[in-house]
Amino acid sequence: IKRITTHVLQKMKVDGERISMLTAYDYSMARIFDDAGIDIILVGDSASNVMAGHETTLPITLDQMIYHAASVVRAIKRCFVVVDLPFGSYQGNSKEALSSAIRIMKETGAHGIKIEGGEEIIESVKRIISAGVPVMGHLGLTPQSIYKFGTYAVRATEEAEANKLINDAKLLQDAGCFAIVLEKIPAALAKTVAESVEIPIIGIGAGKYVDGQVLVMHDMLGINKEFKPRFLRRYLDLYAEIYGATQAYIHDVKAKDFPNDNEQY
Ligand code: KIV
Ligand code: NA
């Protein structure tokens, strides 16, 4: 199998082939996604929400991200694995950002890291890339800044924020980022960004005029019952499937139907 590299991803943009990306946080799910042919697995700090049950992405630690990422990397043969630098592991100190990135690369075997922000963190981006670590940017609704935004509503609907976002995308490209995630911004703005830079733009809630799409696996598989934003397409109702299977199992145990004669030694 031909492995996905930053060069393959760049070629996909040039060829107009859309890039598919999903989050994963453990070995078993990562193995299915990789076998199925996903291009990129993101070990997102959304693990803080969907794996650990926190309300925001802020509490997850670098050690916890490393545990998830190492589990994912053990499963994959083909896809490119990107790991989020968690809140507090890179902001405001490029030296600390570099050591966080190096820990992820050394201790997990992942292929690159993702960090939130533009101009504010550009020194960290440059320093990490200068060490040979591929960096994916992340602009728009950056969940580590949720208390600054105060809401999960669509970002960059006003001109000043839209202009800053376009400028940040160019700064990230010039710093050497291999791709950028755009989260929850108007489709027209995402299109402008995708046309303004040479590197792949991967959207979540950023419309169809970008070079790839990413979703959180729990959302796309319908494991989260309540979370139904407009941008989400659900491919399974796994909550209902697992709920039903659990009830069937409980029933069979209570009814002394499981195990039967063929299911015992
Ligand atoms: O942590 C995450 O899952 C992400 C994606 C939503 C892009 O950053
Ligand atoms: Na994230």
- What confidence tens digit (pLDDT) does each residue in 51-97 have? 999 999 999 999 999 999 999 999 999 999 999 999 999 998 999 99
The Cα–Cα gap between 74 and 88 comes to: 26
Residue closest via CA to ligand 1's atom 2 equals 44
Q: Is 116 among the annotated ligand-binding positions?
A: yes
What's the ipTM? Answer: 0.99
The C-alpha atoms of residue 138 and residue 126 are separated, in whole angstroms, by 15
| Same domain, residue pair 264 and 141 | no
Tell me, yes or no, whether 116 and 14 share the same domain: yes
The per-residue pLDDT for range 170-229, each reduced to its tens digit, is 999 999 999 999 999 999 999 999 999 999 999 999 999 999 999 999 999 999 988 899
- Residue 197, classed as helix, strand or coil, is coil
Structure tokens at 152: 């999960």
Nearest CA to ligand 1 atom 8: 44
**Among residues 34, 92, 50, 57, which one has the least CA distance to residue 221?**
50
| CATH at residue 211 | 3.20.20.60
Contact yes or no for 19/12 (Cβ under 8 A): yes
Between CA 200 and CA 55, with CA 28 as vertex, the angle to 5 degrees is 70
pLDDT at 1 over 90: no
What is the CA(46)–ligand 2 centre distance, in A? 5
1 within a domain of the structure (yes/no):
no
Query: Can you read off the two tokens belonging to residue 150?
Result: 């105060």
Q: Is 84 part of any known ligand binding site? A: yes
Q: 140: which strand partners? A: 183
Distance 257 CA to ligand 2 centre (A): 44
218 in the same domain as 91:
yes
Nearest-angstrom CA–CA distance, 67 and 72: 9
Q: Is residue 95 part of a domain?
A: yes
Ligand nearest to the CA of 87: 2
Picking from 149, 95, 158, the residue whose alpha carbon sits closest to that of residue 117 is: 149
User: Ligand 1: distance of its center to the CA of 227 in Å?
Assistant: 15
Same-domain pairing of 114 and 244: no
Which amino acid, one-letter code, is at 122? I
Residues 136 and 203 in one domain: yes
What DSSP state is assigned to residue 92?
T
The per-residue pLDDT for 226 is 86
> In the Cβ-directed half-sphere of 114, how many Cα atoms lie within 13 Å?
28
Q: Domain range holding 246?
A: 237-265
The 10s digit of each residue's pLDDT in 93-141 is 999 999 999 999 999 999 999 999 999 999 999 999 999 999 999 999 9
Say if residue 33 is in the same domain as residue 62: yes
Give kind and range of the element (H or E) at residue 201. strand 201-204
Q: Are residues 44 and 122 in the same domain?
A: yes
Pair 86, 54: CB distance under 8 Å: no
Helix/strand/coil for 71: helix
Nearest to 72 by CA among 84, 60, 61: 84
- Is residue 220 classed as helix, strand or coil in its secondary structure? helix
**53: buried, middle or exposed (CB in 10 Å: 19+, 13-18, 0-12)?**
exposed
Confirm whether 208 is domain-assigned.
yes
Q: Is 261 annotated as a binding residue?
A: no
Just list the catalytic residues: 183
The pTM (predicted TM-score) of the whole model is 0.98
The torsion region of residue 88 among left (phi > 0), alpha (psi -120 to 50) and beta comes to left
Name the band, by pLDDT with cuts 50, 70 and 90, for residue 249.
very high
Pocket of ligand 1 (CB under 6 A): 23, 42, 44-46, 84, 181, 183, 204, 214, 216
Q: Report if residue 121 sits inside a domain.
A: yes
| One domain for residues 218 and 243 | no
Q: Which residue has the tokens 């733009």?
A: 201
What total of structural domains would you count in the chain? 2
What pLDDT does residue 191 have? 98
Shared-domain flag, residues 100 and 166? yes
Three-class secondary structure of residue 212 per DSSP: strand
**In whole angstroms, what is the distance from residue 115 CA to residue 86 CA?**
8
Phi and psi based region of residue 109 (left: phi greater than 0; alpha: psi -120 to 50; beta: remaining): left
The SS3 call for residue 177 is: coil
Say if 157 falls within a structural domain.
yes
pLDDT tens-digit readout, 7-23: 999 999 999 999 999 99
Q: Whose CA is nearest to atom 1 of ligand 1?
A: 44
Q: Say if residue 141 is in the same domain as residue 252.
A: no
